[in-house]
Amino acid sequence: MDDIILETAGLTKEFLGFVAVSDVSLRVRRGSIHGLIGPNGAGKTTCFNLLTKFLPPTRGTIRYDGRDITGMKPAQVARLGLVRSFQISAVFPHLSVLENVRLALQRQRGGSFDFWRSETLLRQYDDRARALLDDVGLNGYADLTAGELPYGRKRALEIATTLALDPVMMLLDEPTAGMTHEDVDRIVALVKRVSAGRTVLLVEHNLKVVSGLCDTITVLARGKVLAEGDYASVSRNPEVVTAYLGS
């Protein structure tokens, strides 16, 4: 099996002549936690949207798990196991936490409503949903409505609904944005836990968050790759320091 699960070549996105992502070549190792970081406006979100096919590139190619996915639709790449957290981050606020995960499981199995007819199936979905809530530390919150969850716990619910789609590779978009220190620590531990047996690409603004988490970090600035390596090497890179100080 190829050691590189995701690879881009010359990935470029222009918005009316403005180059937001410029000639980005990224290689993500299977089983790794790879950080894509950079100051505001670096092109992280655009990159994320290109990788998950929410935006078409102006130029360049994307290969995932041995296939060229450049021309594919988001749902197609999700079926191949490349799943972004954002796509189901529209948590249903009036449904319970458990129901949110159950719906995500149902979606993963093709959106059939058959489980409402079968007590056995319903129980299976419930058991799986509760196990996922356990995985993300939300077992005590199953019966609350999702809207009642504190912000940090809502992000954990997003991760649970992402896991329900059985991802091979998860793309997480700033899972700790806007969180308190305590919540950040909890999400960092959670990402570490759920990454077992998977590949994770983490888009982050915060260098500290990726420090204990990522095997490899790609630093973007003004749409270009500025540096790549482990945390120790990129955080010492003078160009990276300048890019962050200037942001």
Binding positions for ligand ADP, rule: CB under 6 A: 15, 18, 20, 38, 40-46
Contact 37, 82 (CB under 8 A): no
The three-class DSSP label of residue 60 is strand
Could you say which DSSP state residue 145 is in? B
User: 39 or 167: whose CB is closer to ligand ADP?
Assistant: 39
Residue 92: which of 101, 83, 84 has the closest Cα? 101
Strand partners, 227: 219
CB 198 to ligand ADP: min, Å: 23
CB 138 to ligand ADP: min, Å: 28
Residue with tokens 């896991």: 163
CB 15 to ligand ADP: min, Å: 3
User: 42 or 146: whose CB is closer to ligand ADP?
Assistant: 42
- Number of Cβ within 10 Å of residue 140's Cβ equals 11
Residue with tokens 């003004």: 222
CB 54 to ligand ADP: min, Å: 11
User: 65 or 158: whose CB is closer to ligand ADP?
Assistant: 158
User: 36 or 136: whose CB is closer to ligand ADP?
Assistant: 36
Which helix (H) or strand (E) is 119 found in, with range? helix 119-135
CB 42 to ligand ADP: min, Å: 4
- Number of Cβ within 10 Å of residue 236's Cβ equals 11
Which are the contacts of 124, defined by CB distance < 8 A and separation ≥ 6? 115
CB 35 to ligand ADP: min, Å: 13
User: 40 or 120: whose CB is closer to ligand ADP?
Assistant: 40
Q: Is the dihedral of CA 150, 152, 157, 158 positive or negative?
A: positive
User: 60 or 186: whose CB is closer to ligand ADP?
Assistant: 60
Which helix (H) or strand (E) is 106 found in, with range? helix 97-108
CB 46 to ligand ADP: min, Å: 3
How many Cα atoms occupy the beta-carbon half-sphere of 242 within 13 Å? 6
User: 138 or 243: whose CB is closer to ligand ADP?
Assistant: 243
